[in-house]
Each structure stands twice: as C-alpha cells, then as structure tokens.
Copies of this chain bind each other. A is one copy, B any other.
Amino acid sequence: MSGRLTIALDAMGGDSAPRMVVSGANIARRRHPQVHYLMFGREADVAPLLSKMPRLKAVTTLVHTDEVVGADDKPSVALRSGRGSSMRLAIDAVRDGAAAGVVSAGNTGALMAMSKFVLKTLPGVSRPAMAAFFPTLRGESLMLDLGANLVCDARNLVEFAVMGNAFARTVLGVERPTYGILNVGSEELKGHESLQEASAILREANLPGDFAGFVEGDDIAKGTVDVIVTDGFTGNVALKAAEGTAKLVSEYMRRTFRSSLVASLGYLLARPSLRKLRERLDPRRYNGAVFLGLNGVAVKSHGGSDSLAFANAIGVAIDMARHGIIEKTRADFAALTHKAAGPSEAAAG
C-alpha cells in the first residue's frame, strides 16, 4: 500500500477546529505527499481556510455538513442523533472504503462509540481499546487500554495484548515486541485475579514476541517492554501521572535555570541541546490515541490539539493504514482462536 491513500478528517472536532484541522492537514501534506484528504465540516467555515492553502486544497475533498458532535455530548446521544455529524460522516467514509482511516480531535467517548458501532470490532475482539505510545529510556512503548474500558476481565486483557503487539510490529517497527501486564509487583502471586488469569493465557498464547509477565509502574518510563497491557482505569491514571510528572520536572528545571545569573548563563550555553530535549519530550509528538480492535483505522487527537499535534495524529493514522495493522491484527486473532480451539493447547485458565 504505497500508492494513494485517503484519510478522513473530522474538521469540526477539537477546541481550535476547524482552523487547526486544516493547517494540521497542511503540515501532514508536506510530510506525506501521496495522501489525500476527505474533510467533513461546515463549508462556510472550512472552505475559506482551504482557499488559503491551495496545495492542500488540491488533495482535499470537502464534504459539507452542518451537524457537529458537541464536546460534552454523551456518547449515547451522539450515537443516536449525530448521524449527520462531521465525526460520524468521517467514520462512515472508512466503513465505505472511501478512506483508509479517520482522525478526529472531537469528543472521545462519542468517537469511540461511533467507531465501534460503524466500523465494528474485528473477529475475536470483545472490546476495542484506546492506546497511546510515549517516549521511554529505551525508545517508544505503547500502553492500552487508556480509558475506553474501565473494568476489564482476563479476556479483555489478552485481547489488548494481541492488539498492542500488532501495533508495535506494524507502526513502532519492532519485529518481536516484548509485552507485559501492569501490576503492583512482578511476583506471580500479586495483583487481581484477572491479571493472573490473563498472564496464564498469554504464557501459552505464543504471540509473536516475548511475554514478560508482570511489569510495574516504573517500567512504563523505563521501557522495560514495548507494550504495556492494563485496564482503562489504571492506564488512564498511569499515563496522566507520567505526563504530569514530566511537566513537574521540566518546570523545576526552568525555575532552577532562573535561580541565579550563573545558572542562566549556563542555560544559554546549553539551550540548543535543551531545545532538542524539549522537542524529544514534546507531547505533541506523541499525540493521537489510537483505537485498536476495530475493523478500521481510527485515531483520536487531543481536544486541545494545535496544528502540529493534529498533523502527528494524521501521521499515526497513515502509518497504521500503510502498514496494514487491521490485516495483521485480524490474522493474530485468527491464529489465537485457532490455537485456543485446538485439541492439546486450549488457552490455559
């Protein structure tokens, strides 16, 4: 799939939409020259923005709709009454084959509910998950779920492992990913029962890569494994705790450099290197929670995304589509199911 690819964009989702969506697409256009865009939104708002970016306009089809999913709409309400919304039409485009993936910075719950309803889950998947990747000491790791499923049983966790593993192989480019289950201790005895059960199943499952068993909270930033599997409640708290701490340390650092004249001078000298560090840790680089387990590519950009962050989310959707994540995930689930149904190696409880 190196030819032309079309990505559907919800032009109206996000705090700074549609402006940041259009200029985000324009940044993505420069990075990925082969890609076309299918934008859904209010023509009166979007068309003038596109007119200012003729090169983007040349690779974009704008589809008008007046309807928009509100940032505070309940997912159930959006699902029922948002059938003509920019978000929904963008998802429909993926189902209909008009686009290879959808990106929206709109209402997360609505996007998940609609994507699940429209795209359906892959065979073998009981619940799709939200995943994100982030920098670690070793490179980049993926964590899931991040909030789509607050309470998870062993089966959910096993499915997350399969999806995350496929993502690591396709998008992160890790040939044999390592993956582990987040727990409060690495000893086999610790933690909730569902974790024990999921661990036992994964030990037998023989997914591509290496199952590392249980990992702990500090393994997230260490990058001990490529894929961290957890329930949506814990994943959400852990990721936000990590983000908050990164900001705290950066802020302490900033105060430190301002604390004396000599320190300020030191800062001036180190500034170019520090800028590179800031870029490396820039949360916008890691923007885009991906929805895994769906029969289609769907990426959620932060509601507060600027154009750079949105362009990165588009990049993630393009990577997922180009590397055939849906096909790979489907194949892994088929292999797992086949195996679980086999005579001698039924998934251990």
Judge whether A263 and B256 touch: CB under 8 Å: no
Whole-angstrom distance between the alpha carbons of A185 and B217 in the complex?
20
Q: Chain B contacts of A270 at CB under 8 A?
A: 256-257, 262-263, 266-267, 270
**Segment at the B interface, from A12-20, A161-169, A233-241, A323-331:** A233-241
State the Cβ distance, A17 to closest chain B Cβ, in Å. 21
Partner of A221, one of B184, B218, B237, B241: B241
Cβ of A222 within 8 Å of any chain B Cβ, yes or no, is yes
Q: Chain B contacts of A268 at CB under 8 A?
A: 266
Partner of A217, one of B151, B192, B221, B244: B244
Q: How many A residues touch the partner, as a band?
A: 35 or more
Q: A-side interface residues toward B, CB under 8 Å?
A: 135-137, 147, 150-151, 182, 184, 191-192, 216-222, 230, 232-234, 236-253, 256-257, 259-260, 262-263, 265-274, 276-277, 280-281
Q: Chain B contacts of A184 at CB under 8 A?
A: 147, 150, 232-233, 236-237
**What would be 26 A-B contacts, judged by CB atoms less than 8 Å apart?**
A137-B251, A150-B184, A150-B191, A184-B236, A216-B237, A216-B240, A217-B239, A217-B242, A217-B243, A218-B247, A219-B244, A220-B244, A221-B244, A233-B234, A237-B237, A241-B245, A242-B242, A246-B249, A249-B250, A252-B280, A253-B277, A256-B270, A257-B270, A262-B273, A265-B266, A267-B270
